[in-house]
Structure 1
Amino acid sequence: MKNIDPRHYDVIISPVVTEKATLASEHNKVMFKVAGKATKPQIKEAVEKLFDVKVKSVNTLVRKGKTKMFRGNLGSHSDSKRAIVTLEEGHRIDVTTGL
């Protein structure tokens, strides 16, 4: 059993499985929902340790929350931060298996 720091699980919340993320996976990119305070070096270290792969680069984006009407009540989606992780050649992550 390899020694994994539990803080890595706090950085990466979940993989993003959308049509756009699936198309990006053909170009060796994987999308994750990450903690709002996570930095690019923290995301890179967490992905490398948890999935045992080599990361080439990390791009992040923050999706702003929206206000929506739901059954006549006003509700809101919260902001979320996503990371697009580009892997080195020859490395793969299968997000369907989970952590």
Structure 2
Amino acid sequence: MEYANILLRPLVSEKATMIKEAANQVVFYVHPEANKIEIAKAVEKAFSVTVDAVRVVRRRPLARSRMGKVTGRIPGYKKAYVTLAQGDKIEFFEGV
């Protein structure tokens, strides 16, 4: 799998921004079948940084119910919290 297929998009939220500033971690939505090694190599190749650790969080798809009836489903996702080496950083919005 190529790194463009592994890293789907960065997660930009208040929590992700606080983690980025405090612990030098970046959060990405990743392909559901990607493992930690593939994610680390993809981040290193895409952004030219050194990765120290990768933590993965999965959320399974859920059935959406309304008044007791199942009316659809909420899709699942996989997130990766990537810890960068000391001195490395990734800027998504440079100059904004």
Q: Please give the TM-score of this superposition, normalised by the length of structure 2.
A: 0.84
Give the fraction of aligned pairs with identical amino acids, expressed as a percent. 34
The 4+ residue runs of structure 1 with deviation greater than 2 A are 64-70
If the length of structure 1 is used for normalisation, what is the TM-score? 0.82
Structure 2 unaligned spans of 5+: none
In structure 1, the partner of 2:37 is: 41
CA RMSD of aligned residues (A): 2.0
User: Counterpart amino acid of 2:93?
Assistant: T
Aligned to 1:60: 56
Q: Which protein is richer in strand relative to its size?
A: 2
Deviation at 1:93, TM superposition (A): 0.5
Counterpart CA distance in 1 for 2:8 and 2:17 is: 18
- Select the residue among 11, 32, 46 that pairs with 2:6: 11
Q: Residue type of the partner of 1:34? A: V
Q: Which runs of 5+ in 1 are unaligned?
A: 1-5
- Aligned to 2:57, the other structure's residue is in SS state strand
